[in-house]
Amino acid sequence: MSTGSGIPPIVSSKSWTVKVREKGVESLPPERLLPDGQPTYVASWIYVFGVASIASLVVIIGSGCILALKGPAWWHETGVGHFFNSIHLWSVELFFFAMVVHLWGKYWMAAWRGGRGRVWVTGAIVFLVAVPCALTGYVSQQNFDAQWISTQAKDAMNSVGVGSFFNLTNFGQMYSYHILLLPIAVVALVSLHVLLVRRNGVVPPIELEEKLKS
């Protein structure tokens, strides 16, 4: 409880807030969370695709927010709406492209080394969650693609029982998943992934055996 302006509060060791703060600062001190230096081995084009994935996600969310502001029918009726829909589509294509290259790069770097298993796991789950996020977008388009994709993909969902609670032909449900539930999951997972990267640092190069011997 603050006793007045400029006077620090009494720190209680039982305070949940204090515990969370101390744990947070211990795990991710500010200079590690937002570093101004990187190991010199972080010098390859492959590193571009990680940040490109996040940048694409930013553009996806930005264009998606503009589309959401005007509602799902807007982009069919106006040139401006169609323009932002196209931005949304192409940023999704760029997102998946960058993410796939990033994942392949990280695989060949064996980037899970040095206790970074969780970094890989969260990254892989981002990819897997992004797939239904995109699919719900395709079936929410309210055009022929949405009609065809929803009526075809429903069989796969129904075959494993998922269709009973995740109905691809229910526009309202799919739109909710697409603009709220799944984006929240993707952003949360990406955030966790990035925090884990910051906490563990970028994985060092695989040591060359011949160099080690020499």
Residues 36-75 that bind other proteins (CB under 8 A): 36-44, 46, 48, 51-52, 54-56, 58-59, 62-63, 75
DSSP state of 96: H
Between 24 and 114, whose beta carbon lies closer to other proteins?
114
- Residues 79-108 within binding reach of other proteins (CB under 8 A): 82-83, 85-87, 89-91, 93-94, 96, 100, 105, 107-108
Residue 188 interacts with other proteins (CB under 8 A)?
A: no
- Residues 104-143 within binding reach of other proteins (CB under 8 A): 105, 107-110, 112-117, 120-121, 124-125, 127-128, 131, 134-135, 138, 141-143
Q: Enumerate residues 6+ apart whose C-beta is below 8 A from 173.
A: 166, 167
Q: Enumerate residues 6+ apart whose C-beta is below 8 A from 206.
A: 109, 110, 113
Q: Which of 40, 59, 43, 44 is nearest to 97 (CA)?
A: 59
Between 5 and 164, whose beta carbon lies closer to other proteins?
164
Q: Which of 94, 106, 65, 134 is nearest to 193 (CA)?
A: 106
